[in-house]
Amino acid sequence: MKDDEKTTIRQEETDGGSPFGFTRREFFNATATSAVVGAGLAAGGWSLGGGTAQAAEGNQDFHVGPGELDEYYGFWSGGQSGEVRVMGVPSMRELMRIPVFNWDGATGWGITNESRKILREGLTPAGKRRADKQGGVLRNGDTHHPHLSMTDGSYDGRYLFINDKANSRVARIRLDVMKTDKIVQIPNAQAVHGMRPQKAPKTGYLFCNCEFMIPQPNDGRDMESPEKYKTVFAGVDAETMEVKWQVLVDGNLDNTNADFKGTYAFSTCYNSENAVELNGMMRKDRDHVVVFNIPRIEEAVKKGQYKTIGDSDVPVVDGTKGSDLTMYIPVPKGPHGINTTPDGKYFIANGKLSPTVTVVEIDKLDDYFKGGMKDPRDAVVAEPEVGLGPLHTTFDGRGNGYTTLFIDSQVAKWNIEDAIAAFQGGDTNPIKQKLDVHYQPGHNNATLAETKDADGKWLMVLSKFSKDRFLNVGPLKPENDQLIDISDGDMRIVHDGPTFAEPHDAVIARADQINPNKIWDREDPWFDDVKAMAKKDGIDDLRMTNKVIRDGNKVRVYMTSSAPQYHINEFKVKEGDEVTVVLTNVDNIEDLTHGFTLTNFDVCMEISPQQTASVTFVADEPGVHWYYCQWFCHAMHMEMRGRMLVEKA
Ligand code: K7E
Ligand code: CUA
């Protein structure tokens, strides 16, 4: 091997701290090419025919200069932070954060009346009981999978959806204002993990995988009988965000995806053993992909062939093994990601604990459901070995898959048709290139790859570990999102991007597909509740009114603001009053956001141009309490403040 002299590392040249006797950085720099070829041989048994890891010169420009705009919007999950982040691609500039399941001091998410209603109203009865114990709303979320709504297999710019594994919820974000507008908690479930919108004809359903198996109902019965535990797959109406139906299944549902016709959803499923500890979950060599026949599920619900569980009235149909609503396709142990090719022909289940990915031809699913296919494995058309720990696959729209290899810390580029030919006995090597990434990649996603418009320009790889790639920030490290040019020939890394806990997944849309408003529209339904409340207080236009209304021990302060002042400089209340501040920003200039922060009261909110926001609290401390604008809006921003005077009771 030509690189031998570079890869021979003598102990005396190295730092003693590494188990390998050299740092990871030195190792990867020195062995980029040889490590790639070695892994290719070890994993697949195919040689790479002299391919190199990184192309010498690039083609696309990833530099977006000052004042220039990105070509793509990226939507990043914020993982355990419970939020969503909006990025510019390829610059990798973070443009915005959208609070979802978390509390946020900048915008007052979790504090304002508007956000608290959204955080609360879709909770199950048990969720509401839990929320009541901590001030009315839940406090944390664990977001994994952000996905955009589609019409006919293309992004339509309406909504972004995201799951919450921690409290079993799904949220919708309105892309016109980039705010979360609905959240639903899935009943009969623990840990909503995989989540995908239907791709066509239009995002009607969100398909939600509930991961952990539990007794059904989970009210104290059957706790010692894990063999009776079941989990559910849920169909949520994307317009109303109500759970329409659920399907009982065997095994732990992991990730899910949909076809481009609106007929099928498919989920990877591990732990077919129904075990409750690790050893038991590892017993069998195979797990499965569960295919859900959506028209049949709808039909069964319509015919009343369902039951309800516990205090939920959601129809639950039986899709366990042997049901004619589902198909269980055996695949190698512990499948994880599941990805539909942009041409709609195949889905690919990623092996995780097996070095393979399984390619299933979607048209063949019809044969099974019509009774023509007896062995579900007959729908499998390829099963190439791609490397160690395949987690997720994405596509360039030119017939290639890009699979993250968690254990190998690589991305494998492979050709789908070559893999199918090899499965039929041909000797073409489907593996085209392996690229080192840094390190332990989870999801990856290429530009528009979930839609039929995959354009094969940029690939985002979300690496779990950053190790030595950034300045050390203590024991908790950032993850590393790497931007890879896939536009032509070999993949090449062009950017390392540190990110905070933990963007499992990200989707990338063309800039012209997402068209947010520049300021709020006063007719927005977002303001319906607060307008109705004002109407009862005799107020027709919140933009024209500055007024304090007393209603028993309830006080409503209707206030407007325009830079640099609040139009109520002081208001008086009595100790113990319940105070609602309704603030309307009458500025109608882009960017002129104000805020309202009440010092030492733990109260804050954002008011963007033409927005109304409200917050309710008890004035339980007598004295003078300043409120101030926390958004630097004007040269006299520091002076933008006022006093709440609380008289002793
Ligand atoms: Cu692979 Cu939750 Cu999508 Cu993380 S999951 S990586
Ligand atoms: Cu208004 Cu600062």
Each residue's pLDDT tens digit, 507-547: 999 999 999 999 999 999 999 999 999 999 999 999 999 99
Task: Evaluate if residue 37 carries a pLDDT over 60.
Answer: no
Distance between CA atoms of residues 430 and 400, nearest Å: 9
Domain ranges of the chain: 527-647
Q: Dihedral through CA 101, CA 104, CA 106, CA 110, nearest 10?
A: 80
- Classified as helix, coil or strand, 121 is helix
CA of 561 to the centre of ligand 2 (A): 9
CA of 395 to the centre of ligand 1 (A): 17
Task: Evaluate if residue 101 carries a pLDDT over 90.
Answer: yes
What's the Cα-to-Cα distance from 413 to each of 149, 359, 432, 436, 482, rounded to whole Å?
Answer: 27, 15, 5, 12, 16
CA of 562 to the centre of ligand 2 (A): 8
Task: Evaluate if residue 35 carries a pLDDT over 70.
Answer: no
Show the tokens assigned to 218.
């989970």
SS3 content of the chain, % helix, strand, coil (to 5): 15, 40, 45
pLDDT at 40: 36
592 lines ligand 2 (CB under 6 A): no
Distance between CA atoms of residues 154 and 148, nearest Å: 9
The ligand 1 atom at the shortest distance from the C-alpha of residue 144 is 2
- If one compares 168 and 12, the residue with the highest pLDDT of the two is 168
Task: Evaluate if residue 3 carries a pLDDT over 90.
Answer: no
Segment 379-397 shows an average pLDDT of 98
Strand partners, 173: 160, 180
Distance between CA atoms of residues 142 and 102, nearest Å: 9
Closest CA to 233 of 214, 202, 211: 211
CB 293 within 8 A of CB 263: yes
Closest CA to 551 of 569, 533, 566, 531: 533
Segment 217-223 shows an average pLDDT of 96
pLDDT at 14: 35
CA of 242 to the centre of ligand 1 (A): 25
Task: Evaluate if residue 29 carries a pLDDT over 60.
Answer: no
Distance between CA atoms of residues 633 and 275, nearest Å: 57
Which residue type is seen at 282?
M
Task: Evaluate if residue 41 carries a pLDDT over 50.
Answer: no
Strand partners, 468: none
Strand partners, 617: 579
Task: Evaluate if residue 17 carries a pLDDT over 50.
Answer: no
Q: Which class is 527-647 in CATH?
A: mainly beta
Residue 225 has φ and ψ, to the nearest 5°, of -120, 70
The ligand 1 atom at the shortest distance from the C-alpha of residue 391 is 1
CB 161 within 8 A of CB 222: no
562 lines ligand 2 (CB under 6 A): no
Q: Positive or negative CA dihedral for 378, 194, 389, 413?
A: positive
Cβ-proximal residues to 474 (8 Å cutoff; 6+ apart), any chain: none
CA of 74 to the centre of ligand 2 (A): 30
| Residue 634 annotated in ligand binding | no
Peptide bond connecting 90 to the previous residue in cis, omega within 30 degrees of 0 = yes
633 lines ligand 2 (CB under 6 A): yes
Per-residue pLDDT band for 279 (boundaries 50, 70, 90) equals confident
What's the Cα-to-Cα distance from 288 to each of 149, 253, 351, 407, rounded to whole Å?
Answer: 27, 10, 10, 22
Q: What is the DSSP string of 167-229?
A: TTEEEEEETTTTEEEEEEEPTT-EEEEEEEE--SSB--EEEEEEEE-B-SS-SSTTTT-GGG-
Which residue type is seen at 72?
Y
pLDDT at 324: 96
Mean pLDDT in the chain?
Answer: 91
Residue 115 has φ and ψ, to the nearest 5°, of -70, -35
Closest CA to 617 of 560, 561, 573: 573
Distance between CA atoms of residues 211 and 252, nearest Å: 5
Segment 316-327 shows an average pLDDT of 96
Report how far apart the first and last C-alpha atoms of the chain are (Å, whole number): 86
Nearest protein Cα to ligand 1, atom 5:
504
Rg (CA), the chain: 27
Residues of the chain with pLDDT > 90: what percent? 86
Which residue's structure tokens are 């509930």?
210
What's the Cα-to-Cα distance from 635 to each of 172, 591, 609, 632, 640, rounded to whole Å?
Answer: 37, 15, 18, 8, 10
Per-residue pLDDT band for 273 (boundaries 50, 70, 90) equals confident
The ligand 1 atom at the shortest distance from the C-alpha of residue 145 is 3
Task: Beginning with the edge strand found earlier in the chain, give each strand of the sheet holding 506-510 in spatial order.
Answer: 93-99, 83-89, 72-77, 506-510
Which residue type is seen at 414?
W
Ligand 1 neighbours by CB, cut-off 6 Å = 144-145, 193, 255, 336-337, 391-392, 442-443, 504-505
Task: Evaluate if residue 145 carries a pLDDT over 90.
Answer: yes
Each residue's pLDDT tens digit, 444-464: 999 999 999 999 999 999 999
Count of beta carbons in the 10 Å neighbourhood of residue 31: 18
- Classified as helix, coil or strand, 317 is strand
Closest CA to 443 of 471, 414, 469, 406: 406
Show the tokens assigned to 470.
């950034």
Do you know the residue count of the chain?
649
558 lines ligand 2 (CB under 6 A): no
Per-residue pLDDT band for 13 (boundaries 50, 70, 90) equals very low
Give the angle subtended at the CA of 41 by the CAs of 38 and 43, to the nearest 5°. 105
Per-residue pLDDT band for 34 (boundaries 50, 70, 90) equals very low
331 lines ligand 2 (CB under 6 A): no
pLDDT at 58: 54
Per-residue pLDDT band for 62 (boundaries 50, 70, 90) equals confident
pTM for the model stands at: 0.91
| Residue 567 annotated in ligand binding | no
Which residue's structure tokens are 């003078």?
624
Task: Evaluate if residue 561 carries a pLDDT over 80.
Answer: yes
Give the angle subtended at the CA of 257 by the CAs of 252 and 260, to the nearest 5°. 155
Q: What is the 3-state secondary structure (H, E, C) of 215-269?
A: CCCCCCCCCCCHHHCEEEEEEEECCCCCEEEEEEECCEEEEEEECCCCCEEEEEE
Nearest protein Cα to ligand 1, atom 4:
504
Q: Which regions of 351-478 does DSSP assign to beta strands (E)?
A: 357-361, 380-382, 390-395, 400-405, 410-415, 431-436, 441-446, 458-463
CB 229 within 8 A of CB 274: yes
Nearest protein Cα to ligand 2, atom 1:
594
